Structure 1
Amino acid sequence: MGWISSDNEHEGYAACVAPDGRLSGSTTAGGMLFKGLTGHYPPDTTMTDYEVIPDSEIIGWRGACECGWRGELWQRVTSPAAADFSRRRDYVSPEEFANASGQVEDAIHDEWKAHIAPSEAILGVEAAAREYHQAGHRLDKTVAAAKAAGASWADIGRAVGISRQSAHERWADK
């Protein structure tokens, strides 16, 4: 399962890590699909430029994003006793699918959200800037209407919170 940023510029996921460091987000009945052929694993029957690495050989998980960002490795350990979440170690039985546990996937999702936080914040800045410009245009139009209705520069300045002279300098030529 993946995650999409609000601007649709980032798609993140918890990727399985092969022994040679390649990342995969896809699975098949025989194991995990990894792009590229090394000759160490059988090629997939339908996606011939992918290898199928058995679930038992997956060494861990890492956050990945379509933009190229990669999170730190969460190591897959060989026994439940060796699992230590604080040291980024988790146990998934070699007989099970190699997908990250829910706890590790949640932690990777949090890391990915930190990765996209700047771009998400920029969306807020862009929205506020649009609203600011729209409000400025609305203010210009309402000042023009007030002046046309006979309001003085002193009244307009007072309503806006500026001096009569500042109001005149700002809107007299508009």
Structure 2
Amino acid sequence: MRWDLGDGRHEGTASMVAPDGRLSHEVGESGLLVSGITGRFPRDAEKRDHEVIDDDHVVGWQASCNCGWKGRFWTRVATRSEANLADHSAYVPFLGFATPPVAVEDAMKVEWRAHAEASSAIDELLAAQRSIRTAKARLDNAVSKSRAVGLPWSAIASTLEITRQSAHARWGKTDP
């Protein structure tokens, strides 16, 4: 139940939700592990900062991402007749097994993927913008250096494939 966008920044999971809203991202020997100590559930023997809840205490499911994003909450209902995927509710019997139904997991994955792809696209835009700023600063420095060693505006303009007037208009104010 883990999904990876492959960008190194987004890994999603279909998390089970404890009665107090904490998400379980992993399973221990005795049940689902939730981070934090409330005193309502037993502590995990190995991870002392985690409590163990059994599957029958799972109240629902929620997609989550390692970047902190959380999807819509899916309610676990007690009977099949109460289940309605359109209302984000699903039935899983209280028999010690609280994995979300395939349809719920698929819907959570679609929601997570939309988040992760949009976030990744924004990250890419920001990286491109930083590259442009860096390139502009490098170009400005190269023009200054070229002028400092005596290159005429016509040589700079020809190299940059712009007009001499454009080059002078853009960098002429910083001419040494």
Q: Do they superpose with TM above 0.5?
A: yes
- CA displacement at 1:117 relative to structure 2: 2.5
- Aligned match of 2:41: 41
Match of residue 120 from structure 1: 120
| Residue 73 (structure 1) aligned with residue 34 (structure 2) | no
For the structure 1 residues 43 and 123, does the alpha-carbon distance in structure 2 shift closer, same or farther, using more than 3 Å as the test? closer
Q: Is the 8 A contact 2:54 2:96 kept in 1?
A: no
For residues 125-149 of structure 1, give each alpha carbon's deviation from its aligned partner in whole angstroms, at most 9, with x where no partner exists. 68999xxxxxxxxxxxxxxxxxxxx
Kept in 2: contact 1:31–1:52 (CA 8 A): yes
TM alignment of 1:6-155, pairs within 5 A: 6-8=7-9, 10-122=10-122
Alpha-carbon contact 2:18-2:57 (below 8 Å) kept: yes
Deviation at 1:3, TM superposition (A): 1.6
TM-score by structure 1 length? Answer: 0.68
Change over 3 Å in CA distance of 1:19–1:3 after alignment to 2: same
The TM-score with structure 2 as length reference comes to 0.68
Distance 1:16 1:112 in 2: 15
**Matched AA of 1:76:** R
CA distance in 1, matches of 2:122, 2:70: 21
Q: Structure 1 stretch 82-91 or stretch 95-104: which is displaced more?
A: 95-104
Instruction: Write out per-residue CA displacement over residues 38-58 of structure 1, whole angstroms, 9 at most, x where no aligned residue.
Output: 111111111111111111010
Unaligned stretches of 5+ residues in structure 1: 130-165, 167-174
Amino acid at match of 1:92: V
How many angstroms does 1:16 deviate by? 0.6
| Percent identity over paired residues | 43
Q: Distance in 2 between matches of 1:110 and 1:25?
A: 18
Which secondary structure does the structure 1 equivalent of 2:61 belong to? strand
> Would the aligned equivalents of 1:7 and 1:123 in 2 still touch at CA under 8 Å?
no
Q: Deviations over 1:126-173 (max 9, x none)?
A: 8999xxxxxxxxxxxxxxxxxxxxxxxxxxxxxxxxxxxx9xxxxxxx
| Distance in 2 (alpha carbons) for counterparts of 1:7 and 1:41 | 34
- Aligned length in residues: 166
- Paired residue type of 2:16: C
| Structure 1 stretches of at least 4 aligned residues deviating more than 4 Å after TM superposition | 122-129
Partner AA of 1:61 in structure 2: W
Partners of 1:16 and 1:25 within 8 A in 2: yes
Residue by residue over 1:86-107, the C-alpha shift from the partner in whole angstroms, topping out at 9 and shown as x without a partner, is 1101111111421212111111
